[in-house]
């Protein structure tokens, strides 16, 4: 197995990514025995402590199993790891998470515009109205809670339970990312922009315009990612 050596030897994520890559490429298959800890340490150019932490993380997700006295083996279904655990180990792939959300939620908003009932519309409108009150009252955590409920209400209006379940899978990682806004100096401005974009989505759904709803939702998520990038850069 050929690997790319890492200059910074202290990154657990590097070892995890390399091993998952071997599994995806079938260089390691279900039941394969992994090399011993010292061998992996030398192979990846990291400390044994880093290797040990990576093994513990992969064991926690069910990717590998560690058998006392026998060694470490690839599990029968190694890539079926819970998404929230995956996200905790892949913070560097948050941009990909936003892209996935854009694909799923853009189509969700379009379907909601076509299928929504008056009760669905009332729920979406009520959630947005409550979010405005939370922002005006500087209840930032309350505003973020309304943000999550707004997206869930749209998913509910789409009328596809499986799609709703799929979006719930990525929800923990999304909440973890968006919760950082409460620590920002410009949180009032940022949340105000979110409310404006949510209003655009609502307007399209109210008008039963699937194309406009899709565009508005994708624009909102794209803007959310851009705001996240700008905020991170301002900290450097």
pLDDT, residue 230, reads 77
Same domain, 192 and 215: yes
Give the residue numbers spanning the domain of 93.
84-235
pLDDT tens, 93-108? 777 877 888 899 999 9
Same domain, 108 and 97: yes
b/e burial code for range 22-60 (CB count within 10 A of at least 16 → b): bbeeeebeeeeebeeeeebbebbbbeeebbebbbebbee
Residue 100: give its domain's CATH number. Answer: 1.20.120.530
Residue with the bigger pLDDT between 215 and 65: it is 215
> What's the CA angle centered on 72, arms 66 and 74, to 5 degrees?
100
The answer, yes or no, to whether residue 128 has pLDDT greater than 70, is yes
Arithmetic mean of pLDDT, 132-142: 89
In a domain, 7, yes or no: no
The answer, yes or no, to whether residue 36 has pLDDT greater than 90, is yes
The answer, yes or no, to whether residue 234 has pLDDT greater than 90, is no
Among 81, 115, 141, residue at a domain's last position: 81
pTM of the model: 0.61
Residue 41: give its domain's CATH number. Answer: 1.10.10.10
User: Could you give phi then psi for residue 35, rounded to 5 degrees?
Assistant: -60, 160
Alpha helices in the chain (DSSP H): 12-24, 37-44, 48-60, 83-89, 94-115, 118-136, 140-158, 161-178, 187-206, 210-235
In a domain, 6, yes or no: no
Total domains present in the chain: 2
Among 32, 50, 81, residue at a domain's last position: 81
Same domain, 208 and 97: yes
Same domain, 95 and 23: no
pLDDT tens, 190-231? 889 999 999 999 999 999 999 999 999 999 999 988 887 776
Same domain, 37 and 135: no
């Amino acid at each position: 197995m050929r690997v790319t050596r890492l200059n910074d030897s202290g990154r657990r994520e590097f070892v995890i990514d390399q091993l998952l890559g071997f599994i995806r490429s079938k260089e390691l298959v279900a039941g394969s025995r992994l090399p011993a800890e010292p061998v992996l340490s030398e192979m990846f150019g990291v400390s044994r402590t880093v290797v040990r932490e990576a093994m513990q993380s992969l064991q926690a997700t069910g990717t590998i199993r560690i058998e006392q006295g026998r060694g470490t083996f690839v599990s029968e279904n190694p890539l079926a790891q819970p998404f929230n655990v995956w996200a905790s180990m892949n913070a560097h792939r948050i941009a990909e998470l936003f892209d996935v959300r854009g694909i799923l939620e853009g189509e969700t908003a379009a379907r909601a515009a076509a299928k929504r009932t008056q009760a669905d519309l009332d729920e979406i409108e009520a959630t947005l109205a409550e979010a405005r009150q939370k922002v005006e009252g500087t209840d930032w955590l309350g505003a973020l809670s309304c943000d999550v409920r707004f997206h869930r209400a749209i998913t509910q209006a789409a009328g596809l339970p499986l799609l709703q379940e799929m979006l719930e899978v990525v929800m923990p990682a999304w909440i973890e990312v968006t919760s950082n806004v409460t620590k920002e100096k410009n949180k009032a401005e940022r949340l105000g922009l979110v409310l404006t974009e949510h209003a655009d989505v609502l307007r399209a759904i109210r008008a039963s315009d699937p194309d406009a709803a899709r565009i508005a939702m994708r624009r909102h998520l794209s803007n959310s990612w851009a705001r996240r990038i700008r905020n991170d850069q301002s900290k450097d």
